Amino acid sequence: MLPKMGIERCKLLYMETDSFIYELKCDDAYEEVMKADLSQFDTSEYAPDNKYNMPLVNKKKLGSLKDEANGKIVTNFVGLRSKMYAYKVQNFRVQRTIRSYAHNVFSIQQSKIALSPKDDKRYLILGSFNTLPWVIHRQKSNFFM
């Protein structure tokens, strides 16, 4: 992605073993990135009538990239540590679920605490939102002792 977009228009926000999330600064990422190289993307879970006219291709194709938001525009992102991130999309709607208790069926709206700031693998760079691994911090500390 970096060679295509350039360092000033592409920033890695979050990464783990099999996934990554990055910010793209462009007018239309679907036209400029995805449609330009559709063979690299799994768009099989998009709505058939999606507003980008994205064809539904490459279902579960190994090595293909997948848009977790399925064509929705991500407006906010928070990544705290491995497997702990959240994002908000445009035109968000509240999701309700059906539960039953003692043979009575009812719908509920549920809120959960999902994000925790505790991270024992990375530290926050002072005056920044960026982080570095503790290993680097320890190596620098030992170097100056």
In a domain, 63, yes or no: yes
Using CA atoms, how far apart are residues 50 and 72, in angstroms rounded to an integer? 9
Range with lowest mean pLDDT among 56-65, 81-90, 110-119: 110-119
In a domain, 21, yes or no: yes
In a domain, 118, yes or no: no
In a domain, 143, yes or no: no
| CA distances from residue 14 to 79, 86, 87, 118 in whole angstroms, order as listed | 6, 11, 12, 16
The dihedral over CA atoms of 49, 66, 34, 16, expressed in degrees to the nearest 10, equals 150
On the question of pLDDT at 142 being above 60, the answer is no
In a domain, 126, yes or no: no
On the question of pLDDT at 143 being above 70, the answer is no
Full domain range(s) for residue 24: 2-113
The domain total for the chain is 1
Using CA atoms, how far apart are residues 54 and 50, in angstroms rounded to an integer? 7
In a domain, 140, yes or no: no
Average pLDDT over residues 46-66: 86
Confidence label for 137 from pLDDT (cuts 50, 70 and 90): low
Using CA atoms, how far apart are residues 44 and 66, in angstroms rounded to an integer? 9
Range with lowest mean pLDDT among 64-78, 81-95, 110-124: 110-124
In a domain, 46, yes or no: yes
Residue type at 101 in one-letter notation = Y
- Supply the pLDDT for residue 145: 42
Range with lowest mean pLDDT among 9-13, 52-56, 73-77, 136-140: 136-140
